[in-house]
Amino acid sequence: MDSDLQDPSKVPDVLAVVNDPRSVYTAIETRFCCRAFLPKSVERATIERILRACSWSPSGSNTQPWKVYVVQGASRDALVSKVCAAHDALRDDPSLASVYREDYPYYPSEWKSPYIERRRATGFGLYDALGIRKGDRDRMHAQLQRNYKFFDAPVGIFFTNEKAMAQGALVDTAMFVQSVMIAARGEGLHTCVQAAWNPFSSIVLPHIGATEERLVCTLSLGYADAGAVVNEYRPQREDPSVFTRWLEN
């Protein structure tokens, strides 16, 4: 290979080689929903590097429908305070559920097998790891509210689409978010992708200046607390034989 092709910036994509393929698999396999972060800041240059690489994520007809809002510092803290207050108010007055509604249905209105069993197993497994017993509403509420504190991560990222976009934009943005999570692993960072913020979009969107958009999901980003028990929990993953069909004849 000549010297020009050894410079990554000059290598045509079709000829580019991943020198350490295992590192790609490792980034995917070590991604998990981190629910405890260290109080260690993440440099803006690092976040910009991640987002720049992820701008190459695929999208239908190259529409690139994702919009990204990064909250840190005082802006982060103010939003945490507002949404935690709303979450407490919703606990005290369940009728507020009509006010705090998500922009699109993330979960089905009626569950079926095997999805409901997987969801329940994940919830029970997480609470068991935390020592939260069934019926302990106070601790369950407090744990759910950890979502609205970004699990103490210093960086919160909100992903939105313009409301005029169709459902395909959700798929495109999901691929972008996955790219961000994998790229974060390359920087030694961890993430937690969250739909829990979606019902509070009426608070989030004005705060970030995105009132004409819909909230797709949220991402907590930072350095994982390796000593936190909650970060030891991993939900079970199905073997590919469960979800794959091979059609060869």
243 alpha carbon, distance to own chain's centre: 23
pLDDT value, residue 1: 37
What pLDDT, in 10s, does the model give residues 16-67?
Answer: 888 899 999 999 999 999 999 999 999 999 999 999 999 999 999 999 999 9
In angstroms, rounded to a whole number, what is the distance separating the alpha carbons of residues 248 and 176? 31
Task: Tell me the pLDDT band of 199, cut-offs 50, 70 and 90.
Answer: very high
Task: Tell me the pLDDT band of 9, cut-offs 50, 70 and 90.
Answer: low
Do you know the residue count of the chain? 249
What are the residue boundaries of the structural domains of the chain, listed by start? Answer: 26-103+147-234
Mean pLDDT of 153-179: 98
Q: Give the mean pLDDT of the chain.
A: 94
pLDDT value, residue 144: 97
HSE-up of residue 203 (Cα within 13 Å, Cβ side): 20
CB 174 within 8 A of CB 195: no
What pLDDT, in 10s, does the model give residues 96-149?
Answer: 999 999 999 999 999 999 999 999 999 999 999 999 999 999 999 999 999 999
Domain 26-103+147-234 in CATH: superfamily?
NADH Oxidase (3.40.109.10)
pLDDT value, residue 49: 98
Mean pLDDT of 68-76: 98
Task: Tell me the pLDDT band of 154, cut-offs 50, 70 and 90.
Answer: very high
pTM to 2 decimals?
0.93
